[in-house]
Structure 1
Amino acid sequence: MKALMLTVAFFAFGCAGSAQANELYGEWARGDGKARVQIAPCGADICATNVWVKPGTPKEDKGDTLVMSIQQQNEGVYAGTAFDPKRDLTYNLTVTINGDRMTSRGCVIAGLICRGIGWERIN
């Protein structure tokens, strides 16, 4: 689950320098300082790819990608599923963006195990 949250941030997809309020795409730093992700379109989905992982962080590597099938539900709120090909796991995922801050929450086992992680946009 920790690896999901790292990647989920996932993750920043795309246009960090010109990001508008509640923009999903771009580069994001995980709240614990152990990872950065790039979030960008990938085909019909959205991918969050680790672009930096703090040395010594277990089970996470630069280049790990989370494939998200999410749609905007409300202003700054996205929901759907995320697939982690490295671990062959699918998660229910909710991403909430408020300006330059993002929270990702992933759940497995029919929502019995959930974890959230905070992210900050890298400009």
Structure 2
Amino acid sequence: MHRRLAPVLALALAPALATTLVPAPARAGSPDPFGVWNRGDGNARVRIAPCDDKICAVNLWIGDTSGGEAVGDRLVLALQPQDADTLTGTAYDPQRDLTYSMRMTVGKDQLETRGCILGGLICRSVSWSRVE
């Protein structure tokens, strides 16, 4: 399994991005994942920002590229608020042509992503910390 199943990776993620969604944080009271985040293992830094009508997570820095990750790789997220701190939906990885189910729990300075494939049989969770 590819290390990048996160923003993000946990972002690790099942259905296709068939619907057009407004970025969830644009809605009042929605969790706000926008900003720059360091992955818990210290190997990645990503920027999460609006892109068109979705949300994109783009690699800004990768420490060890042997797992196939590269600066500029991105995930395209179609997420909806589930509750006060959680977004759910899908993430599409255009570099690998994979779509994952995604759950993102957003705190002020912490982010937890969980991505799954194969109907939830294979999942990965990743912790992130906000870069000041």
| TM-score > 0.5, shorter chain as reference | yes
Sequence identity of aligned pairs in percent? 44
Q: Which 5+ residue runs of structure 2 have no aligned equivalent?
A: 12-30
For residue 57 of structure 1, report the CA deviation from its aligned partner: 4.1
Shift of 1:55: 4.0
The number of equivalent residue pairs is: 112
- Give, in angstroms, the shift of residue 111 of structure 1: 0.6
Identify the residue that residue 126 of structure 2 maps to in structure 1.
117
> For residue 3 of structure 2, what is the aligned residue in structure 1?
2
Matches within 5 A, 1:4-43: 4-5=5-6, 7-8=8-9, 22-43=31-52
Among residues 28, 51, 60, which one is paired with 2:60 in the alignment?
51
| TM-score, with structure 1 as normaliser | 0.84
For residues 90 and 48 of structure 2, what CA distance do their matches in structure 1 show? 15
1 or 2, which has the higher strand percentage? 1
Question: Are the counterparts in 2 of residues 7 and 64 from structure 1 also a CA contact under 8 Å?
Answer: no
Q: Deviations over 1:29-86 (max 9, x none)?
A: 0000000000000011000000011044421000000000001111110000000001
CA contact under 8 A between 2:10 and 2:116: conserved in structure 1? no
Q: Secondary structure of 2:67's match?
A: coil
3-state DSSP class of the match of 1:110? helix
54-63 or 69-78, larger mean C-alpha shift: 54-63
- 1:102 matched residue in structure 2: 111
Give the TM-score taking structure 2 as reference length. 0.79
Deviates more, 1:61-70 or 1:47-56: 47-56
1:108 Cα shift? Answer: 0.1
Distance in structure 1 (CA, Å) of the matches to 2:101 and 2:125: 12
Distance in 2 (alpha carbons) for counterparts of 1:57 and 1:101: 26
Secondary structure at 2:59 match in 1: strand
The higher-RCO structure (CA 8 Å, 6+ apart) is 2
Question: SS at 1:39's partner residue?
Answer: strand
Q: Let me know the Cα RMSD of the aligned residues.
A: 1.6
